[in-house]
Amino acid sequence: MIRALTFDTYGTVVDWRTSVLRELEALGGRKALAVDWVRFLDDWKAAYRPGMDKVNRGESPWTTVDAIYRMRLGELLVAYGISLLATEEVEALARVWWRLHPWPDAVPGLRRLKRKCIISPLSNASFIGMVELGRSAGLPWDCVITAENAPRSSGRRCCVRARLPGQIGMVTAVYATAPAPERPGK
Which parts of the chain are beta strand (E)? 4-7, 14-15, 101-102, 118-123, 145-146, 168-171
Residue 148: per-residue pLDDT: 73
Higher pLDDT, 60 or 161: 60
Report which secondary-structure segment, H or E, holds 79: helix 65-79
Predicted pLDDT of residue 18: 96
> Per residue in 94-131, pLDDT tens?
999 999 999 999 999 999 999 999 999 988 888 999 99
DSSP string, 98-123: GSPEEPTTHHHHHHHHHTTSEEEEEE
Segment 147-173 shows an average pLDDT of 64
Select from 154, 152, 129, 147 the least CA-distant residue to 139. 129
Over residues 74-89, mean pLDDT: 96
